[in-house]
Structure 1
Amino acid sequence: MRLIDYFPASSISVRDLAGSWQQAIDYSMEPLLKNGYIDEKYIQAIKDSTLNNGPYYILAPGVAMPHARPECGALKTGLSLTLLKSPVVFDEGNQPVSLLIGLSATDSTSHIDAIQALSELLCEEENIASLLAATSEKQLAEILARA
C-alpha cells in the first residue's frame, strides 16, 4: 500500500487556525471519526494522555502525530492530515505545530507500513517544508501521493 492509501476520503484539510491544542486535536481526528476509523473516546484518550504526559507525539519542529492506544477506540487503521495556517502551541517547552497527522491503529503492527512511508517522507526536510507551505488539500494530497 502507498502512503496516500492510508488516508480515507476527505481526511486531508487546511484550516486557518485552532483556538487551542485541544481544538487542533479535534480537527485532526474529525475525518477519522466521520469515516468510522475511531470513536469519540479515542479523541478524549489523546487529550487525556496529552494532559498527563505532554505532547509525546510531536515528531519534528512543526509536525505532530496525535494518537492513542488501539484499545482506546481505534476501529480501523488510517491517517488524517491537517495543516493549520496559524500554528498552535501544545506547551511552553515545544515549538508551535502546524501539521497534524492523525493516526488510528487497531493493533501494534497494522500501521507499521504507513509509519515507515511517513518516516521516509518526513526525513527529507524539503518534504516537510513543502507540506508546511501547501495552501490546499490538493497540494497536500499530491505530496503524500509521491511518497
Structure 2
Amino acid sequence: MRLIDYFPEASISIINSANDWQEAIDFSMSSLLANHYVNAAYVQAIKDSTLSNGPYYILASGVAMPHARPECGALKTGMSLTLLKENVQFSADDEPVKLLIGLSAADADSHIDAIQVLSELLCEEETLAELLAATSEKQLADIIARA
C-alpha cells in the first residue's frame, strides 16, 4: 500500500491559522472524523492525553502527528495532513507546529508501514521543506504520492 492510499478523500488541507492547539487538533482530525476513520471520542482522547502528557507526538521541528490509542475510537487506519499557514504553539517548551499529520490506527500493526514511509519522507530535509512551503492541497498530495 502506498502512503497516499492512507489518506481518505479531502484529508489533505491548508488552513490559515488555528486559535490554539485544540483547534489545530480539530482541524487535523476533521476529515478522519467525517470519513468515519475515528469517532469524536478519539479526538477528545488526543486532547485529554495532550493535557496529561504534553504533546508527545511532535516528531520534528514544525511537525506533529496527533493520535491516540486504537481503543479510544479509531475505526479504520488512515491519515490526514493539515498545513497551517501560521504556526500553532502546543506548549511554552515546544517548538511551534505548522504541519499536523493526523493518525488513526485501528490496531497495533496496520499503520506500521505507513509510519515507516512517512518517517523516511520527513527525514529528507528537502521534502520536509517542500511540505512546509506548499501553497495548495494538490502540491501536498503530490509530495505524499511520491513517497
The TM-score normalised by the length of structure 2 is 0.99
State percent identity of aligned pairs. Answer: 73
Pair 1:26 & 2:26 matched: yes
* d(CA) in 2 for partners of 1:142, 1:75: 26
Q: What code does the residue aligned with 2:142 have?
A: E
CA distance in 1, matches of 2:43, 2:114: 20
Gaps of 5+ in 2: none
Residue of structure 1 equivalent to 2:6: 6
Match of 2:108, SS state, is coil
> 2:55 & 2:103 partners in 1: Cα distance?
14
Post-superposition CA distance 1:46-94 (Å, at most 9, x none): 0000000000000000000000000000000000000000000000111
1:133 partner letter? A
Match of 1:76 in 2: 76
Give the CA RMSD over aligned residues. Answer: 0.4
Other-structure match for 1:114: 114
Where in structure 1 do 4 or more consecutive aligned residues deviate above 6 Å? Answer: none
1:33 and 1:22 map into 2 onto residues whose CA distance is 15
Q: Which region of structure 1 is more displaced relative to structure 2, 120-129 or 16-25?
A: 120-129
SS of the residue corresponding to residue 99 of structure 2 reads strand
Return the alpha-carbon distance in structure 2 between the equivalents of residues 52 and 28 of structure 1. Answer: 20
Residue pairs, 1:98-137, within 5 angstroms: 98-137=98-137
Residue aligned with 2:100, SS: strand
Query: Which residue of the partner structure matches residue 91 of structure 2?
Result: 91
List per-residue Cα deviations over 1:81-126 (Å, max 9, x = no partner): 0000000000011110000000000111010011011011011011
Other-structure match for 1:57: 57
Aligned residue for 2:16, secondary structure, equals: strand
Measure how far apart 1:135 and its partner are: 0.6
